[in-house]
Amino acid sequence: MAHESGTTTVHLAVYDTLADWETGHATAWLARAGHTIRTVGPVAGEPVTTIAGIRIVPDLALDDLRPEDSALLILPGAEKYDEGDELAPFAAKARAFLDAGVPVAAICGATAGLAREGLLDDRRHTSAAPFYLAATGYEGAERYVDADAVRDGDLITAGPTEPVAFAREVFARLGAYEGKRDAWFRLFHDSDPAAFAELNG
């Protein structure tokens, strides 16, 4: 299911110290479901370097990203979320997306970015741990949920150890893998061999 604009383009934020393992399930399987994945960085064409040392050249600059051109914005965690305000513009863009009714999925450190932006004050959410978000000074502590991943309307959040649960919630919001999401989750989260046949049946 694409956003009402009809686009199936999913935008993946990329920045220095991006945590490589957190969004791979979501992006790879969305691409297999027919979505186009485009990377969005601080500056178009200027490489960023992940925690693993992998260089990524963004397709698009953050300033040029418009919610109406996107089905979803994915914000991976990064060490830079805990080092200052350099990535604050990505959280501000998330606000623009949510205001426009376009979903946002944030994992690990990106949830702290959203907390600082005030986007978790009124939405159910999760993260690495309650104290991690509490350190941001945000006002949404009573809405913290101790779960692998949480979807509240257009916002999806997860902690750093739950890339599979994170992807499942992303698929659910976009209507991907209808009827097969449970099998997909059991295969990749639980290593259930029976789920392989269900997923590929």
- The set of catalytic residues is 108
Helix (H, G, I), strand (E, B) or coil at 36: strand
Helix (H, G, I), strand (E, B) or coil at 152: strand
Q: What is the C-alpha to C-alpha distance for residues 142 and 69, in angstroms, rounded to an integer?
A: 34
Q: Which helix (H) or strand (E) holds 112?
A: helix 109-116
Contact 113, 90 (CB under 8 A): yes
Helix (H, G, I), strand (E, B) or coil at 133: helix
Q: What is the C-alpha to C-alpha distance for residues 163 and 157, in angstroms, rounded to an integer?
A: 10
